[in-house]
Amino acid sequence: MRPLFTLNNRLSLCAQMVRKGVRIADIGTDHAYLPVWLVRAGFVPFALACDIKAEPLKAGELTIKKYHAEDMVQTRLCDGLDDVRADEVDDIIIAGMGGETIVHILSSTSWLKDTEKRLILQPMSKHELVIDYLYQNGFELKEHHCTVSEGKIYTAFSAQFTGNKKDFDELFTYTGLLNKDNEDHLRFLHSIINHLEKKSKANPHFGEIAKEIRERFSL
């Protein structure tokens, strides 16, 4: 059997948050690296690899064949989770998309509001929109991590529905569970501040948030 490939740090971070032994759906799977890696590494027994476009899904099918994962990974051509049933999967990964698209997918799928399901989310931009959506809708962050992958800093988090609507503020949507004692978290906090300070030229409100983050984390 062909030796298994290595995931980059960004996808590896997502893989680490998947619960061992559960069934997963990878939404926006593209080359299906994450589902193929998870089943072939023995972490999960079954995966759905979903994408809204046929071309990426074809690339995914090639990866599935190449690594002999046909028995364990199925593909679905659909928008978000539109063609995925609640009883098929436990952990849902949405990685490598903008925050707005992730919110669109989450808000279109009512069965995610289930305390047994786990979300693993890796927004490429506007992560604050995702955290805001989660807390407005009774979800809570469980883990929050950052990593440097191919020279760039990324964030990813897992979340679960509790049904409790916890109080949260705008600053929390930017910083979630980040902790400045961790080198990668600190690097991500600085990238948020830089981003907000740039946006503050057009809207001073973002400068206020950047200042609050500096104060909260003594940066």
Ligand X SMILES: C[S@@+](CC[C@H](N)C(=O)[O-])C[C@H]1O[C@@H](n2cnc3c(N)ncnc32)[C@H](O)[C@@H]1O
> Residues interacting with ligand X, by CB under 6 A?
11, 27-30, 50-53, 56, 79-80, 95-97, 101, 105
Q: How far apart are CA 145 and CA 165, in angstroms?
A: 23
Q: How far is the CB of 150 from ligand X (least distance, A)?
A: 11
Of 51 and 90, nearer to ligand X (C-beta) is 51
Which is nearest to 1 in space by CA: 32, 41, 49?
41
Residue with Cβ nearer ligand X (44 or 210): 44
Alpha helices in 31-110 (DSSP H): 33-40, 54-66, 99-107
Per the structure block, which two tokens stand in for 104? Answer: 């669109």
Q: Which is nearer to ligand X, 22 or 106 (CB)?
A: 106
In degrees, rounded to 5, the angle at the alpha carbon of residue 165 between the alpha carbons of residues 191 and 175 is 10
Distance (Å, whole) CA 144 – CA 74: 29
Where do we find the tokens 């590896």? 12
Nearest approach, Cβ of residue 145 and ligand X (Å) = 15
Nearest residue relative to ligand X (C-beta): 96
- Interatomic CA distance for residues 26 and 169, integer angstroms: 30
- Closest CB 174 distance from ligand X, rounded Å: 21
Q: Are 92 and 49 in contact (CB under 8 A)?
A: no
Closest to ligand X by CB, 92 or 213: 92
CB of 209 to ligand X, least distance (A): 27
Q: Which is nearer to ligand X, 103 or 209 (CB)?
A: 103
What minimum distance in Å lies between the beta carbon of 109 and ligand X? Answer: 11
3-state DSSP call for residue 11?
A: helix
Query: What is the spatial distance between Cα 137 and Cα 166, in angstroms, rounded to a whole number?
Result: 10
Cβ 170 to ligand X, closest distance in Å?
Answer: 26
- Please, which residue, 156 or 196, has the CB nearer to ligand X? 156
